[in-house]
Amino acid sequence: MRVAVDVGGTFTDVFVLDEQSAAVRVAKVPSTPHDPMEGVMAGVAAAEVDLADVTLFSHGTTVATNALITRRFPPAAMVTTRGFRDVLEIRRGTRDDLWDAYKDVSPPYIRRRDRFEVAERVDVGGEVVAALDEQEARELAVRLRRRGVETVAVCFINAYANPDNELRMREILEEELPGVSVSTSSQTLPEIFEYERFSTTVANAVLSPLVTGYVSRLEQRLKDGGYTGDLLLLHSGGGVMTGAMVQKYAGRIAASGIAAGAIACRQIAALCGFENAIGLDMGGTSTDISLVYGGDIRTTNEWAVEYGHPICFPSIEILTIGAGGGSLAWIDPAGSLRNGPQSAGADPGPAAYGRGGEEPTNTDANIVLGRLGGELVGGAVTLDAAAAERAVQRIAEPLGLETTDAARAIIRVADANMADAVRLTSIRRGYDPREFALVVFGGAGALHGASLARELSIPTVIVPPNPGITSALGCLLVDVRHDLSEMYLRRIDEAQAAEIEAEFAKLEGEGRERLAAEGVPEDRMTFQRSIAMRYLGQWRSLAVDVAPGPVSLEAVVAHFHAEHEREFAYRREGAAIEIYQLALQAVGVTPKPELARHPIQDGAALPAPAATRDVHFDEVDGAVQTPVYDRSALPAGARVEGPAIIQQLDSTIVVPPDVVAEVDEHLIIRMKITEAGA
């Protein structure tokens, strides 16, 4: 068995694949925010998994994300070069909302009183101008010991060019403070910009004890249950790390869970023959949007859980908005209907859950419209339609609307928010949504997929076999991966191909060492090179892939011009180009699971509907008597003409009028979308 567990804000999802038969089992249990490990083990038990039979256990976790949101950190300190104590608060001087002069950026993760200076200096060329004052360093270590500090971030200026002083500071701290976690900026992020480097190192430092403790406890529980392999943790870059590597790079799993959905989106789209896909992962509290172009997932080198505190580990680019099944509908002071980002969360949840919630949510609105039935998760959650209607009336009355019209308005606002987010991810970046398929998953994605696709003129909607467990599937589709980089500031006409080749060889050597330490055999190692470049005088750089073998600077320049034009709609052929950074992805390829194939039954008769109910659709006025099908009863080759509802354990699919849903050989459902009124 291969097991993947994805911990979300509302539910913990488990995906189990039998290696021999390709049979799939899934389970969905409530998350346990007080201790996520309890939810993980409860999910394993619900899936009836014997850990002794498990050959691979992959895990996407929100432990690091939640820690950054709640700021529940162990006692931490920062040590920096004299004169640079306030880099974290000076930042870049930008604002999340340019026009709100009263909204302050949240304070740094380590307070000013816990940031300390020592005498040392390295210049921009890497020369040691002043060696570390070791007596001062040891005196500082004693102070930190008295304070009970558990983790330290060492951030010296220009340490990316020469890490000697930082490494010596780390040695002293480890001698004087045994057992304390130490993160150095030269090891964490060896890049030039001190603010981003310091911020990333601080995030890594404050998370390290928390993540290491969680991973150690979970590894022991799995071992006690009979599992003998490594626990693999999904990281932001779309790969996995072992527990030993997580201790050094804890900050990399701060976007662990949301990356899995993007990986699964690419795989599902590829099975359907699409190289371009937009992933829409709509869960209980938020919607995560990702983009796959030409078979590659779009990535970024700078992201943040909170604005103003960048984490610059390579990460799959995800746009997250507060639009989930539990997002609250509300009326602003001007009398306009709003939706999210506030959420009812898992507790109390939507009003229909009967746990004390009274505010209307998207789930309540979908119940009023008949799009959701009387239960979720195979009966584990019973839905109270009367409570949902009472909640929606709280919106209907002040707006002077009928209850169903208010519910329809709530869903339309939610759909508009998600459509705008998709436009930001695609059109704003130079991608035409009409050339993409929309892959919808998460517990609520399939409820909204068809209407969103129609709004965005996307011709095809793809619904995975288990939409609510798709992110967990993504945890089984990833490789062991490490992202390495080296600063290389040169004009292209001053760079030497041989010198660049030598730098890449050094990075590959380090990559091999890391992969070998994680048990990856040589024949499963692959290396992908890239060079970040910019037109001379630009601030930001653009990375372009480099083919293996001797570096051709002419080919790299041509590729840069083409990518710059696609990304920013212009190119400057005669302008000077500057190389900014060399980067390498070291990948340990893992065997990938394959979804079972089922014979297509051409012209197969549809099974009888499991039920019928009145459903309100945007395309028609009034309620429509609509058949409700059980997805598990639909064979490969089945063709469902809308209006219809298709329900299953972990999700509900809305098939509007004039839309056709077809089941393919992998039991993936594809919906063909026509323009409204066509």
CATH of the domain at 156: 3.40.50
Sign, Cα dihedral of 90, 91, 94, 97:
negative
Q: Give me the percent of the chain exceeding a pLDDT of 90.
A: 59
- Answer yes or no: do 189 and 220 share one domain: no
The tens digit of pLDDT for each residue in 189-227 reads 988 889 999 999 999 999 999 999 999 999 999 999 999
- The pLDDT score that the predictor gives to residue 218 is 93
Helices 164-176 and 134-147, interaxial angle, to 10°? Answer: 40
Average pLDDT over residues 466-489: 86
Tell me how many domains the chain contains: 4
Q: Is the pLDDT of residue 676 over 70?
A: no
Q: Alpha helix locations (H) across 33-163? A: 36-46, 63-70, 87-90, 134-147
Q: How many helices (H) and strands (E) does the chain have?
A: 16, 35
- The pLDDT score that the predictor gives to residue 380 is 65
Angstrom distance (rounded) from CA 323 to CA 289: 11
- The pLDDT score that the predictor gives to residue 675 is 66
Which of 167, 185, 206 is the C-terminal boundary of a domain?
Answer: 206
- Answer yes or no: do 188 and 216 share one domain: no
For residue 613, the Cα-to-chain-centroid distance in whole angstroms is 36
Q: Is the pLDDT of residue 379 over 70?
A: no
Angstrom distance (rounded) from CA 574 to CA 109: 44
Average pLDDT over residues 99-122: 92
- Answer yes or no: do 97 and 140 share one domain: yes
452 contacts 427 by C-beta, under 8 angstroms: no
CATH of the domain at 47: 3.30.420.40
Of 477, 478, 461, which Cα lies nearest the Cα of 651?
Answer: 461
- The pLDDT score that the predictor gives to residue 180 is 94
Query: What domain range includes position 168?
Result: 74-206
- The pLDDT score that the predictor gives to residue 94 is 83
**How is residue 85 annotated by DSSP?**
T
Angstrom distance (rounded) from CA 424 to CA 440: 17
Where is mean pLDDT largest: 103-107, 269-273, 515-519? 269-273
**Quick one: residue 462, left, alpha or beta (phi over 0 = left, psi -120 to 50 = alpha)?**
beta
- The pLDDT score that the predictor gives to residue 678 is 44
- Answer yes or no: do 89 and 182 share one domain: yes
User: Within a domain: residue 30?
Assistant: yes
* Average confidence score pLDDT of the chain: 90
Of 66, 525, 477, 451, which Cα lies nearest the Cα of 238?
Answer: 477
Which of 195, 228, 256 is the C-terminal boundary of a domain?
Answer: 256
User: Within a domain: residue 494?
Assistant: yes
pTM of the model: 0.80
Q: How confident is the model at residue 257 (pLDDT cuts 50, 70, 90)?
A: low
Number of neighbouring beta carbons within 10 Å of residue 182: 20
Burial of 225 from C-beta contacts in 10 A (0-12 / 13-18 / 19+): middle
Q: How confident is the model at residue 292 (pLDDT cuts 50, 70, 90)?
A: very high
User: Within a domain: residue 338?
Assistant: no
User: Within a domain: residue 307?
Assistant: no
Please report which helix (H) or strand (E) contains residue 122, including its range.
strand 121-122
3-class DSSP state of 254:
helix
**What does 447-508 look like in DSSP terms, one character per residue?**
HHHHHHHHHHT--EEEE-SSGGGHHHHHHTS-EEEEEEEEEEEEETTT--HHHHHHHHHHHH
User: Within a domain: residue 596?
Assistant: no
- Answer yes or no: do 94 and 7 share one domain: no
Angstrom distance (rounded) from CA 310 to CA 313: 9
Q: At 60, list the tokens.
A: 């996407």
- Answer yes or no: do 135 and 55 share one domain: no
CATH of the domain at 505: 3.30.1490
CA distances from 498 to 335, 487, 501, 543 (A): 65, 16, 5, 20
CB crowding 117-126: b at 16 or more within 10 Å, else e: ebbbbbeeee
The tens digit of pLDDT for each residue in 322-345 reads 888 889 999 999 999 999 888 887
- Answer yes or no: do 202 and 228 share one domain: no
Number of neighbouring beta carbons within 10 Å of residue 299: 20
Contact partners, residue 7, CB within 8 Å, separation at least 6: 31, 36, 39, 40, 59, 60, 61, 62, 63, 257
Average pLDDT over residues 101-117: 92
Which of 138, 173, 206 is the C-terminal boundary of a domain?
Answer: 206
Q: How confident is the model at residue 677 (pLDDT cuts 50, 70, 90)?
A: very low
User: Within a domain: residue 629?
Assistant: yes
- Answer yes or no: do 645 and 540 share one domain: no
- The pLDDT score that the predictor gives to residue 155 is 97
Q: Give me the percent of the chain exceeding a pLDDT of 70.
A: 98
User: Within a domain: residue 551?
Assistant: yes
Q: Is the pLDDT of residue 485 over 70?
A: yes
- Answer yes or no: do 201 and 78 share one domain: yes
Q: How confident is the model at residue 265 (pLDDT cuts 50, 70, 90)?
A: very high
CA distances from 426 to 154, 299, 434 (A): 39, 13, 10
Let me know how long the chain is. 678
- Answer yes or no: do 119 and 62 share one domain: no
- Answer yes or no: do 123 and 200 share one domain: yes
- Answer yes or no: do 84 and 187 share one domain: yes
User: Within a domain: residue 459?
Assistant: no
